[in-house]
Amino acid sequence: MALLVVNRVYNNNTVLVDVDNSDQAIVQGKGVGFQKRHGDDISPTRVERIFYLNTKEAKHRFGTLLKDVPIDITMTSFSIIEMAKQTYHYPVMDYIYVTLTDHIAQTYKHIMAGKYQKSTAPDIRDKYPTEYEIADKAVEMINHDLNVRFPKDAAQAIALHFINAHGSENSEEKEKVEQADFGDNVNKIVKSVFKEYGITRNITNQNYFDRLMIHLQYLVARIQTHEQDKRILNQDIESDFRKLYPKSYKIASEICDKIQRRLDIILNDNELLYFLIHIQRIIQEK
């Protein structure tokens, strides 16, 4: 039986532990952290959930999230992702740990402040039944674990996160997805352009890379609901950014052009600027 030693107590129910003096993990259980201190042992029989942080990237990702998101929300998000992987055998890209957690945190904040607005994400349940089933279960888990009432329509945006972060061991299968699948096409365009310029996700830039993935999801939602960012961009701002960051501007312009041609839509200058800012952050952290 594994030896669990307290490294850090987050609250009475969540603890960071050293496992057999080699790996680290986050464990959860009712009262598992009560009156525990660094170096204390924890009985495995008290543990209800365990999430191993057995890679440098996993530790970095978890640490980054805790800077902005409460531990309970982070762990609920991780539980949802593990549920999708284990119960539905649903493969996901790593960035969903950031994007989904960020989404749940923001939605939770809006609900608690009485500012929640019904999701504008399109309902495509018929096309993605598994993702929506995962999302429905996710809402139940959120309401139970966080003692909050996420409305049923919140499942639509959660489903979109899983659709966009779906991973596959067979890359040829992903190429056969219908052209009408905006989310997959937008992601493919961005990844193909990044590949041309040698831009990859790594431990240094992963936080900014994942933030770009969040932006892409909201862009897809706006495309599918025919909404545009109506704010008027000051032309001087675009000109200044173009001069300051010529490479990022070139990459952002290429991405926007390809999205417009491939999906037969029009993106305004705001979207170009958003791409430029995200890309510049990624490049400077390469």
Which position has the higher pLDDT, 134 or 204? 134
Cβ neighbours for 17, distance < 8 A, ≥ 6 positions apart: 4, 5, 6, 7, 24, 25, 26, 27, 42
* 131/47 same-domain check: no
- Whether residue 135 is predicted with pLDDT greater than 90 in this model: the reply is yes
The C-alpha atoms of residue 275 and residue 26 are separated, in whole angstroms, by: 35
- CATH, residue 221: 1.10.1790.10
The pTM assigned to this predicted structure is: 0.60
Helix (H, G, I), strand (E, B) or coil at 69: coil
The tens digit of pLDDT for each residue in 143-180 reads 999 999 999 999 988 998 898 788 754 433 443 344 33
pLDDT digits (tens, 9 = 90+) for 213-259: 777 776 776 666 555 555 555 566 667 788 888 999 999 999 999 98
243, 261: one domain:
yes
**Do 180 and 221 reside in the same domain of the chain?**
yes
What is the pLDDT averaged over residues 95-107? 87
Domain count, the chain: 3
Does the pLDDT of residue 3 top 90, yes or no? no
6 strand-pairing partners: 17
Residues 175 and 279 in one domain: yes
Residue 137 in this model has a pLDDT that exceeds 90: yes
Q: Are 17 and 7 in contact (CB under 8 A)?
A: yes
Same structural domain, 144 and 59: yes
CA–CA dist 261, 185 (Å, integer): 11
Give dist(CA 269, CA 256) in Å, integer. Answer: 10
> Does residue 123 sit in the same domain as residue 192?
no
| Domain shared by 85 and 150, yes or no | yes
Residue (of 282, 281, 274) closest to 238 by Cα position: 274
Same domain, 244 and 141: no
Instruction: Tell me the per-residue pLDDT of 61-93, one tens digit each, with 9 for 90 and over.
Output: 787 777 778 999 999 999 999 999 999 999 888
Q: Single out the residue in 137, 167, 197 at which a domain terminates.
A: 167
**Per-residue model confidence as pLDDT tens digits over 118-127:** 876 667 888 8
5-19, 78-92, 94-108, 232-246: the lowest-pLDDT one:
232-246
Which residue range forms the structural domain that includes residue 68? 55-167
Are residues 16 and 113 both part of a single domain?
A: no
**Residue-level pLDDT at 255:** 93
- Please write the tens of the pLDDT for every residue from 25-42: 888 888 999 999 999 999
Side-by-side strand order, sheet with 41-42: 41-42, 4-11, 14-19, 23-28, 49-52
Residue 177: per-residue pLDDT: 40
Residues 145 and 69 in one domain: yes
Note whether 41 and 65 are same-domain residues: no
Same domain as 277, residue 186: yes
Question: Residue 224: what pLDDT?
Answer: 62
Here the CATH number for the domain that contains residue 3 is 2.30.24.10
Alpha-carbon distance of 100 to 85, in angstroms, equals 14
Query: Do 17 and 6 form a contact (C-beta atoms < 8 A)?
Result: yes
Provide the H-helix boundaries in the chain.
56-66, 71-87, 96-112, 129-146, 154-164, 171-175, 182-196, 206-224, 235-244, 246-263, 269-284
